[in-house]
Structure formats: structure tokens, C-alpha cells
Amino acid sequence: MGARGELYTTQVTLDNRSYFFNVKENRNGDIFLQVVESKSRNGEDFDRHAIVVFADDMQKFFKGLDSSISFIEKEQKDRSKAAAERKAARASATGKKVYQRKPTAEEERRRSGVKKTGRVHVVSKRPTENE
């Protein structure tokens, strides 16, 4: 077991924020997930916020998270469809023909709402057999 009961840690770094997903074990032997957001403030200090989800509650927690993600994806699709319909209606009112082009990979990434920087840092706190 690592320092402060850490079993496993994953870090996701974005522009001015880092997210740490820490799997820990407390003194009673309970395993839990700690999610920490660390945000740069003025380039000097960091704001840190953490939530803790115990193993017994993880299924309910992830079900709620999945439901929220599904809602966001559906809402984005509905909004983009409505925008395309408005654009087509405006074009038909003016008599111009509307052509839709295929979005670029960068536009797809922006539309999906997930920022993919390619910078993911994974650290395992589990001791190896050599240690």
C-alpha cells in the first residue's frame, strides 16, 4: 500500500486543471474512489476540490454519471439538428441551396464536449514483486 492508503492513481491533465482518480483504502479496510480537481489560480496557487465515493455506492454513482453523460450527448445532437433545420429553413426562404459539409476531426472533438489533449498520466501505487 502506498502513502496515505493509495492503491492506484490516474491523472488527467487539461488546460489549467488536473483531475486525479485515486483508489484508496482507509484504516478499516474500506476501498473508495477519491476524485480530486486541482485548478491553477493566478499561475501560483491551486484550488483543490475532492469527492469520495465508497465501493458500496459506486454502482449508483456511475449509473447517475452515465445517465448525465447520455443526456448531454442527446442534448448536443438535438441542438445541432435544430440548428441545421433553422439554417435550411432560412436558406429555403431566400431561395439559396444549402450544402452541408462533413465536419473535420477537430470540429467533431469540439462538438462531443470532450477535450482530448492526449496527455494522460497513469501511475500505479501497487508494489511490484521486485519491491
Beta bridge partners of 19: 12, 37
Q: What is the DSSP letter of 127?
A: P
- Residue 112 scores a pLDDT above 90: no
The residues, ordered by sequence, that sit 6+ positions from 14 with a Cβ below 8 Å of its Cβ are 115, 117
Tell me the per-residue pLDDT of 25-82, one tens digit each, with 9 for 90 and over. 988 889 999 999 999 877 778 889 999 999 899 899 999 999 999 999 999 999 999 9
Min mean pLDDT across 7-16, 31-40, 84-93 is at: 84-93
- The helix/strand/coil state of 131 is coil
Q: How far apart are CA 60 and CA 38, in angstroms?
A: 25
Residue 96 pLDDT level (bands cut at 50, 70, 90): low
The residues, ordered by sequence, that sit 6+ positions from 115 with a Cβ below 8 Å of its Cβ are 14, 15, 109
Q: How far apart are CA 117 and CA 9, in angstroms?
A: 19
Question: How confident is the model over 113-129, as a mean pLDDT?
Answer: 60
10 Å Cβ neighbour count for 24?
Answer: 19
The answer to pTM > 0.85 is no
Nearest C-alpha neighbor of 13 from the set 101, 110, 121: 121
